[in-house]
Structure 1
Amino acid sequence: MTLRRSHGGRTAKAVLLLHGYTHGPRQVERLAGLFYERGCNVYAPAAPGHGTPDATHRGFTSRELLRYAGDALDVTATLGDEVGVVGVSAGAALATWLGASRGDTVARLLLITPLFAPRRRVPWPLTTLYGLRLLPDHVDARGYSFTAVAQYLRVAASLPKRPAVGALRRVAVVTSPGDTVIDAARAVAVPRRLAEAAGAAFTHHMLPEGEGHAHNVIGAHAEALDELYADLYDA
């Protein structure tokens, strides 16, 4: 499934939405509709191995993920004069990679609970061995494949030390107080460094305590947050 929302021609702004691991474009469908209502053309393709009922979420490689993200950005760049990327969780790692490696094209980044590292520290050798498929895969209680997640962590580890610059002017990050999946410090520090290197504005928004927010904070169950996300992107 690929989700497109088009006004029938090139618009002032175009937005690429990259969903999270084990999800598909439907995860960002409501937010895509809101961006469309605000005059943007929107593109949200399914990542390799994602978005179908029989997807195993474990057969793709980090190289395939990067090719998917780059190709998706190329499509989005034909849809609007200003191009931005919204990424969710593992998709936010891809969005950050685009902002760093294609910062001459990407003007805005919105990163929702970005996964650059898991909350529980995983020894680097294990991440590497799972990433290279040198260990048998393991699937945890959430249905996460260690091999598949390691591909996204390899993307996060491959961010260029000297990002491409020229277009990037805003980076916004959303984190959740109840998130037990991601390393919260890295979720903020990595995009902050990117913004500083690019001379872009940086905003970190922590969702309120006591409202039951966990890791997955987008979709029908979190509809009330859609306006917040669109405003953080547009600010």
Structure 2
Amino acid sequence: MIEVVLADDQVLLRAGLRALLDAEPDLDVVGEASSGAEAVRVVRELRPDVVLMDVRMPGGDGLEATRTIVEDRTLTRTRVVMLTTFDLDEYVFEALRAGASGFLVKDTQPIELLRGIRAVAAGDALLSPGVTRRLIGEFASRSKAIGAREHGRLGQLTPREREVVALVGEGLSNDEIAERLFLSPATAKTHVSRSMVKLHVRDRAQLVVLAYESGLVRPGWRSD
């Protein structure tokens, strides 16, 4: 059972999400919050698998709440998915850097929302390749100082791991990486996992952010 907390100041939206999620046999809404501060309290109490977090809320916004949750060592299994009205909300990029595992636009189709929650709970990043490139391409230029530091971290990777991280940055799945590099899916998964451990990143979403901030993948660029 995947336990979910809903954090949004719109009561009707939370009610709609609860009805949708509770109708699924493997999803269970265990708590709700209407502010960032309340979200942190509820998550610390219930320790859910996934938090659907609105970017903008009173009483401490979703970005601040996400950072607090991600930095809490007692909540390492909890994943945060940001909810936003627009897919190029500048706060979404900051939320990804803060540790969110992905984001959903509020008018996402129900089937995609359900699939996304399950993917994040399983440890995958909720970032479509196209939106990822537009989002990070829009804001990566603001992180030049960070980029220099992140580029240095890549020195811990083998040449093959750097290739794999670059492809993760493009939004490719393990199966797609395996096909591109003529590897088995299991080997591709191993390279991704080892890279995450070496780079001390929480999940694939953070690997994507690091790939862009380090310059390993450039906005609007795609390898052949």
Which is richer in strand?
1
Do these two structures clear the TM 0.5 threshold for a shared fold by scoring above it? no
Which structure would you say has the larger RCO, counting Cα contacts within 8 Å and 6 or more residues apart?
A: 1
TM-score w.r.t. length of structure 1: 0.30
Which entry has the higher C-alpha Rg, 1 or 2?
A: 2
